[in-house]
A = this chain, B = another copy of it.
Amino acid sequence: MPHYSAPLRDHLFCLYELFDFDGHTALPGFEAFSRDVIEAVLEQSGRFASEVLLPLNRSADEEGARFSQGTVTTPKGFREAYRALVDGGWPSLSCNPEDGGQGMPHMINFLFEEMMNAACLSFGLFPGLNRGAYVAMSRHGNAAQRALYAPRLASGEWAGAMCLTEAHCGTDLGLMRTRAEPQDDGSYAITGTKIFISAGEHDLTPNIVYLVLARLPDAPKGTKGISLFVVPKVLVDQDGALGARNGVSCGAIEQKMGMHASPTCVMNFDAATGWLMGEPHQGLKAMFAMMNTERIAVGIQGLAIAEASYQNAVNYARQRLQGRAPRGAQNPTAPADPIIVHPDVRRMLLTQKALIEGARMLALWAAQMLDVSEHHADPGMRKSADDFVQLMTPVVKAFLTDTGSDVANIGMQVLGGHGFVRANGQEQFVRDVRVTQIYEGTNGIQSADLLGRKVLHLGLFDVFARPVAAFISANEGNDALAEFVAPLAAAHDLLEDATATIQQRAAANADEVGSGAVDYMRLFALTALSYLWARAAEVSLPKSNDGFHRAKLATARFFMQRILPQTAALHAIIVAGADPVMELDEAMF
């Protein structure tokens, strides 16, 4: 069975050595989170992941969520684990104290989510959805709605589910058909069918709070005619006492490649009673206002599976004896050397390690700015932090989930045939993580959002480029750091040139943005990682008398020399432009 042990040393490196978490707790509301408190929370998070969730992951995959006559039964152990999750207060880590939450930084909650999802991604999706529903409710619910729902979503007493997609509309929500008819009592009758609803029905909580997008009768066409409604599975009174079942039911669950224990539901709304949240026709805006947190969280899912795959690949590579090291037997008394001695196996493991640790730095950088955007006393600081989050969110979502799949596939390759069989768990990582590249907006959509909206339309590129350029120029002439700063500067030049080139061409050719977006996202992400690896190296150089920091430097060198060169190819592909993408006659595909 797969093993998992929370990478706490690297978490603490990121928090305290790279991102000055002690300084971060000077933000209003974070004063209580001393290092002692944080270390205790992270240790308990790791124990919860390894001891409560990890033992469920394989059996839950085999058993899957089961559907029968409108009900969904989660796999053996999920109900008990969910109870332990709620009893431990884990769902409310980053929720607001006024809703009974613990008010912790997003940085800490994301590290908890990394551990939870590494141990059992299909379980982790349930509280992930609660958190999404909580954020939407706390921002867009009216006072009565907030009072009723927010504390119960924060604690996990009730679960949440987001109902957007319909059979004919996923990416293009403007085509939505679900309708909301006003009723005399101020409520709405919601009618329509939603698909791909994660955790749309299950047996973990006595109630599920659906946030549903639907059209009012007078709604304008397209995306500007969509409103947001709260629809409880079980109708409740003002005190939250459960009443009659509402007119919403699960019609089926999907059979999928992975995430077998996470029910993906067809949800039928049949004149279900719902209440408008926020303003009419402003539903998409409300939904997108909470998307940054959700999308970073999905990126964290990719990181989590990558870490789990890596740990198990390393274990296997230490134990499996095959062949001899090219430089001579390393284990001469045994019949063969462990495969970790082979350069190609080291290459695979280092690729995993450099991407994982880089991805973690990137996610925590965005999370730190998310905290600043919500907590800083200065509105200007909040705004510039929010700009940074807007820019980096699609990068975190797309790059970390791509990395999740890439790294899990490398993990399988390290195990060879033993990776393809189910018992060793690597194949489940590959199957489970694959959907993270698709849901919460496909990575193609993330890339279009980054390039088309955030860089070209909103002009946010500089909120990333400024600190990077400052770091580069501050370290000119720093010989000790030159091996890291020089490749960073080269990558940054390529990214700036790609940005300017597309900007210039996009005005004349609308196809340039879509043709370059995915490669641009990847160029952006690798450049961001090279900046973070250079900073990690700067931190580690003076401490290189200990093994951890020497390993950071070695991994940084591997990243710079053996991963970052991809940026040259990405730049060349981007500047090749739209012509080769658009030339082929559509009939000839």
- Residues of A bordering B, CB below 8 Å: 165, 168-172, 175, 196, 254-258, 264, 314, 317-318, 321-323, 326-328, 335-336, 340-350, 353, 405, 409, 412-413, 416-417, 419-423, 427, 430-431, 434-435, 437-439, 442-444, 447-448, 510-511, 513-515, 517-518, 547-548, 550-551, 554-555, 557-558, 560-563, 565-569, 572-573, 576, 578-589
Contact = CB atoms under 8 A, between A and B. Distances in A.
Contact of A343 (B347, B548, B581): B581
Contacts of A439: 417
Contacts of A435: 417, 420
A168 to B, nearest CB: 7
Contacts of A580: 350, 554, 557-558, 560-562
B171 A420 contact: no
A299 B312 CA distance: 28
Nearest to A588: B551
A326 B514 CA distance: 8
A513 to B, nearest CB: 7
Contact of A175 (B255, B336, B442): B336
B434 A430 contact: yes
B558 A256 contact: no
Contact of A255 (B343, B422, B554, B569): B422
Contacts of A343: 511, 513-515, 578, 581-582
26 contacts: A171-B322, A171-B416, A255-B422, A256-B420, A257-B421, A258-B420, A326-B513, A327-B511, A343-B514, A344-B448, A344-B517, A349-B589, A412-B434, A413-B437, A417-B438, A550-B585, A554-B580, A554-B588, A557-B580, A558-B580, A558-B581, A558-B583, A565-B568, A568-B568, A568-B569, A568-B572
Contact of A256 (B257, B409, B422, B438): B422
Nearest to A586: B340
Nearest to A426: B257
A576 B547 contact: no
A442 B258 CA distance: 24
Residue of A346, A515, A580 with highest tally of chain B CB at under 10 A: A580
A326 B511 contact: yes
A514 B347 CA distance: 9
A297 to B, nearest CB: 18
Contact of A171 (B323, B444, B515, B584): B323
Given A168-B321, A419-B438, A437-B413, A510 B561 contact: no
A555 B580 CA distance: 8
A326 B510 contact: yes
Contacts of A353: 589
Contacts of A346: 515, 581-582, 584
Residue of A327, A405, A554, A589 with highest tally of chain B CB at under 10 A: A589
A417 B548 CA distance: 41
Contacts of A321: 168, 172, 175
A582 B326 CA distance: 12
B550 A588 contact: yes
B562 A417 contact: no
Given A517-B344, A584-B551, A416 B438 contact: yes
What 8 A-B pairs have minimum CB-CB distances, sorted nearest first? A343-B514, A257-B427, A565-B572, A551-B588, A326-B510, A172-B322, A561-B576, A569-B569
Contact of A562 (B322, B513, B581): B581
Contacts of A419: 438
A165 B257 contact: no
A319 to B, nearest CB: 11
Nearest to A324: B172
Contacts of A579: 557, 561
Nearest to A254: B421
Nearest to A338: B586
A284 to B, nearest CB: 14
A358 to B, nearest CB: 15
Contacts of A558: 580-581, 583-584
A562 B417 CA distance: 33
Nearest to A347: B581
Contacts of A423: 255
Contacts of A578: 343
Nearest to A572: B565
Contacts of A257: 420-422, 427, 430-431
Given A409-B405, A561-B576, A576-B561, A172 B323 contact: yes
A198 B487 CA distance: 47
